[in-house]
Chain A
Amino acid sequence: MLWKNLLNPSKRLRELGLLGMNQRNGDYILKYNQRKFYPLVDDKLRTKKLAQQAGIAVPELYAVIEAEYQVAHLSEILAPYSEFVIKPAHGSGGEGILIIKGRSKEGCRKLNGALLTKSEVDHHISNILSGMYSLGGQPDVALIEYRVDFDPVFEQVSYQGVPDIRTIVFQGIPVMSMLRLPTRMSDGKANLHQGAIGVGIDMATGRTTGGVWHHDLIDAHPDSGHTINHLEIPGWDNILLLSAGCRELVSLGYIGVDIVLDSKLGPLMLEINARPGLSIQLANKQGLLPRLEAVEKIKSIPSSPEERVKLAKSIYRQTQNSQVL
């Protein structure tokens, strides 16, 4: 069996229904995501405002730094808050996000305990404004927002940072989810290519099914050693509902919705990605294609998110029967 797989690897991938980069771009993103709606998701400020209008829960926005002169007044702006997150509005791949968990006389304390001087924070914001983290180096704005106080349910399996739940929502139907756990290597960030762990999720029950770190399948968190299998995600249906509701928000057919669990506020939508990555398939050890094709077969997609979540679960069960990994 093994040597056969190695002999013709692409055949094996096709059998598993794995979505490749070319097909994702050619058959899904180009087809279902109209370019004119991209600015809605590429600009996190706009996404946030849209979500607030639609009643979707998002982390509270403290301030927007739009110009260099505002950096000088940073300490006044930040005075009321001891914990906050600085992020570029047009950032991608989690880059340029600075999480401050406390403040002292000398400056701000990063998640890993390192101290940042005031001028270092200023420079970071200047970099954001000059477009260092935005696509094509366009001038950008910096958002300062509520730092999510994440639900302790994942405390054992995340190294600092905020674990989040990435869900691929295709035509309003959540098709695949993963839990992203930061590691020491990812410096508290939840992006897989930065070294976070991706953990597969049973769409029907909201239980984790084992994960992937870099390119290796793992069962336990590499830093704490705790198992990452069969964890129950609290309020799973709410998370699905929130993800499904994001489709109307941005009018895009194929999106990745990132949601965090706040200990007090419950699930909050962090951002929407119009070009979600493929690693989610590795985390779930399943291909996206069978589920995407199942959605494409549905003639009329129900307009209520509740109906769509039901559909999502039935599609999940369907595809579990047909293909076993």
Chain B
Amino acid sequence: MKNLHVNILATLLILVSATICYYKVTELKLPLLPVQESELWTIEAKVTYKRTAGPSKVSMMLPKQVPGYVVLDENFVSGRYGLTLENEDLNRVAQWAIRRSQGDQTLYYRMQLIPGETPEFKDKNVAYPVEQDYPEIMRTALTALLEQVRNKSADTKSFTHELLQRLNAPDSDENVKLLRKDAATPEAWVSRVISILQGARIPSRQVNLLILSDGARHSRLVPWLQVYTGERWVTFNPKTGESGFPSNAVLWKYGDKPLLDVSGGKSANVDFSIYKQSRGMIAVTQQRAGIINGPVMEFSLFNLPVQTQNVYRILIMMPVGVLLIVLLRNIVGLKTFGTFMPILIAMAFRETELAWGLALFCLLLALGLMIRFYLEYLRLLLVPRLAAVLIIVIILMTFVSLLSHKLGIDRGLSVALFPMVIIAMTIERMSLVWEEHGAGESLQQCAGSLFVASLSYLLMTNEYLEHLMFVFPELLLTLLAFTLWLGRYTGYRISELWRFRSVIVKGN
């Protein structure tokens, strides 16, 4: 009956923790492995203009979403300007307004991006364009060109590709030359291509890209072409006819509306500067997960101040060590001084590192024991004796630190990190066991404790485990479940197989 209860409880705990983990891994894309780095792009748009008399209003187009990237953070530096953000079908518009100002004005917009997938938003129903009234001479050229292209293509995508290649070919025929006329700027060229595509009744639009290159100072938007195939929008390079976005490009705005619109000012200009940083994957993904899905990540340990985070990095590893102790004591049957003493020693080893930790610990214990045996001769009462041992331990620690400092061994200083109360109690217990059961038994228990401490140190400092526990603290529930199960383990301990060996061997 009790076992059933424990089993149900443990299964529930494991289910809950596994579900949260699964969600975090698959939906929030939290990494299972530590030390992955991600590139973080920072884009800064600097808007400058000279104001004229009267109130001024600055509108700038901003992306609503950036395909292929996740916006981690954005902020506006706008001084005394009032700021409003508006959604305008595919774009966003930031509007800065001020009633009175003087001289050169500067406004900043900053955005941080990391690569990643965001759900695509749906375009509105695409309207098929009606044929335009082209001048007579152009219409003939256009019809001829479209006819040729149509013969050499299978669908919208290949049609557009073929068309763009013909339009861009250096040795083109008269028809193409005519169509290319008066389209010098990239924007004009894209709108020319769009109007040609209208002739074939293919919906198309201009998109404006920002090419991400580390350290760019005066980047401009590059117009690009998108064609609707009937199912989705396909992107084309208007100069070459290649489909798809160039690498490291950010889709800044849709359509051919101007990026910046200033009323009450002149010589308006936008300058993009871009730089790249590498950031620890954990921090980035946590931040990203927080943006994608707020409530779950509200309870992430990453929301704590960094100092507290560092404390929890250590604390959250303790249950792993505790589970190890349970295993070693109840399944293996190892004897240690005190139940959780090895864990506290292992925590001290974190700072001192294993070899030094063991050496310092043994040194302290040996010195302490020697003095403890002398105290035994003085016949002190228990509590004063314990207090005396504690004081002596601290004196010894000070002494070891001073000596190692004089000798120039910096590691020796870390002796101060040992939990001295624990050491004092260990010395006391060890001397009792020594008196009552002999040196062998006491050294055996001491070796057992140190073995468990070393093992749990290795486990608790394992980089992979540490990452897992910190990013997925719900694993604590799994640890709890296993501990519950171990609490109902009534089988033999491995040490009992040895203890009852005479029966096993001689039986029958």
Contacts and interface: CB of A to CB of B under 8 A. Distances in A.
Interface residues of A, number: 39
B267 to A, nearest CB: 84
A212 B500 CA distance: 11
A132 B492 contact: no
A217 B505 CA distance: 11
A281 interface: yes
Interface string B484-508: 0001111111001101111111111
Nearest to B489: A22
Contact of B489 (A13, A26, A123, A217): A26
Given A6-B504, A12-B507, A22 B382 contact: no
Contacts of A9: 497, 501, 504
A295 to B, nearest CB: 17
Interface in B314-361: 330, 333
Contacts of A131: 382
Contacts of A179: none
Contacts of A158: none
Contacts of B489: 22, 26
B381 interface: yes
A43 B134 CA distance: 110
Contacts of B500: 13, 18, 281-282
Contacts of B506: 217
A130 interface: yes
B383 interface: yes
Contact of A212 (B383, B497, B502, B508): B502
A183 interface: no
Interface in B452-506: 487-493, 496-497, 499-506
Contacts of B508: 1, 324-325
A183 to B, nearest CB: 15
A243 B143 CA distance: 115
A325 B503 CA distance: 9
A10 B497 contact: yes
Contacts of B155: none
Most buried by A among B437, B496, B501, B505: B496
B491 A10 contact: yes
A96 to B, nearest CB: 9
Nearest to B384: A130
Interface in B347-406: 379, 381-383
B416 interface: no
A33 B506 CA distance: 34
Interface string A280-301: 0110010000000000000000
Given A12-B507, A18-B503, A215-B502, 5 more contacts: A12-B504, A13-B496, A20-B492, A22-B489, A281-B500
Interface of A: 1-2, 5-6, 9-10, 12-14, 16, 18, 20-23, 26-27, 68, 95, 119, 123, 126-127, 130-132, 137, 193-194, 212, 215-217, 278, 281-282, 285, 324-325
